[in-house]
Amino acid sequence: MNRRLFFNRLLIGVGAASIVKEKAYANKKKNNSVVKNPISICTWDFKEANFQAGMALETGKDALSSAIIGANVEEENPKNSTVGYGGAPDREGTVTLDAAVMDYKGNCGSVLGVEKIINVSSLAKDVMEKTPHVILSGKGAQNFALNNGYKLNSLLTDDSKKKWMEWKKKSVYNPKTNVDNHDTIGILCLDKKGNIGGVCSTSGLAYKMEGRIGDSPIIGSGLYIDNNVGGAVATGMGEEIIKIVGSFLVVELMRNGKTPKQACEEAILRIYRKNKSPKFQVAFLALDKQGNSGSSCLQEGFSYYRYKNNINKNLKVKPIIN
Ligand code: ASP
């Protein structure tokens, strides 16, 4: 046998072995996955958003539609300064929104740096369903929204303008922890059919540089779902999450046998090991195919909501740094 033929046969052998492994994994998970009750989990203290997502699941809505119903609650909430309407602007005073969605088939859509459109998670779903693309940004995303019936709205509220003008006096950009500038909404839902869908929606870091995009709309960083395994969402310092492709990493760790909590912890530890004494916050939240949820965060202060069996509960997460 010549050298090339030998290597080709070797490669075919390796490929076939991993396909067999993948199929065995999927079958094993399928047999185990009896979902009696739908579940919704959501970053931070977005009680109402998670409840609405849970209610939608109870009525039989699919996972992604339910997650979007939840995300819309915070996108429309003027009091939330890190998502949608009322979100903090960039340093020039312009509010720009980012969002991503992913469904159980592995389809995804995202929008980056969108101005004057409130429901960017719905828009990301429209990108996924109505275009041949995955990502639309800026003006193009806004034009696509207008062509699909969305209305233009100013996203800057009197309150967020006041805070921005106050910030401008010193213009010191110093993102610390989650005290007042990290609160992205990430929702993962498991529907009655046992399928997972999710959303990540944000206005990004407060007073970010013009044009800055964080992890939230980047598939694999702010959000990732593999319906054979589970899903993950992220919040916190987007630059650090992007550097480890955080949500994808969490899902792959679960594929390799870690629980949702262990997988999130490992991802947080990777960030921790790269940063001597991090002053920022990062948190991951994960849900597996069997309905187990878990989370880990770098700093004190992160919690998440879990809706299950008509109970919408806030769960505090123990930080890696004490
Ligand atoms: N992860 C978001 C970003 O970096 C911020 C956040 O979670 O609040 O844009």
Adjacency order of strands within the sheet including 223-226: 223-226, 230-236, 282-288, 293-297
Question: What pLDDT band is residue 23 in, cutting at 50, 70 and 90?
Answer: low
Q: How many domains does the chain have?
A: 2
Q: How much is the average pLDDT of 16-36?
A: 51
The Cα 279–Cα 174 span in angstroms is 9
- How many A from CA of 50 to the centre of ligand 1? 19
pLDDT at 177 over 70: no
Do residues 6 and 147 share a domain?
Answer: no
Do residues 21 and 42 share a domain?
Answer: no
Do residues 175 and 299 share a domain?
Answer: yes
pLDDT of residue 24: 45
237 CA: nearest ligand 1 atom: 4
Of the candidates 211, 210, 278, 208, which has an alpha carbon nearest to the alpha carbon of residue 243?
278
Do residues 97 and 22 share a domain?
Answer: no
Could you tell me the pTM of the whole model? 0.89
Return the CATH number at 241.
3.60.20.30
Q: How much is the average pLDDT of 296-320?
A: 96
* C-alpha count within 13 angstroms, C-beta hemisphere, residue 235: 30
Q: How much is the average pLDDT of 123-149?
A: 98
On whether residue 322 sits in a domain, the answer given is no
Cβ atoms 197, 66 nearer than 8 A: yes
pLDDT at 164 over 60: yes
| Average pLDDT of the residues of the chain | 90
Do residues 115 and 247 share a domain?
Answer: yes
The Cα 257–Cα 288 span in angstroms is 11
- 90 close to ligand 1 (CB < 6 Angstrom): no
Q: Which of 120-124, 175-179, 239-243, 304-308 shows the lowest mean pLDDT across its residues? A: 175-179
Do residues 12 and 84 share a domain?
Answer: no
The Cα 250–Cα 263 span in angstroms is 5
- How many A from CA of 193 to the centre of ligand 1? 31
pLDDT of residue 171: 84
For residue 139, how many other CB atoms are within 10 A of its CB? 11
- 204 close to ligand 1 (CB < 6 Angstrom): yes
- How many A from CA of 184 to the centre of ligand 1? 6
- As annotated, the active-site residues are 184
Of the candidates 188, 243, 187, which has an alpha carbon nearest to the alpha carbon of residue 214?
243
> Which domain, by its residues, includes 13?
1-32
Query: H-helix or E-strand containing 188?
Result: strand 185-190
Do residues 21 and 125 share a domain?
Answer: no
Cβ atoms 302, 282 nearer than 8 A: no
Do residues 214 and 73 share a domain?
Answer: yes
- 215 close to ligand 1 (CB < 6 Angstrom): yes
pLDDT of residue 149: 98
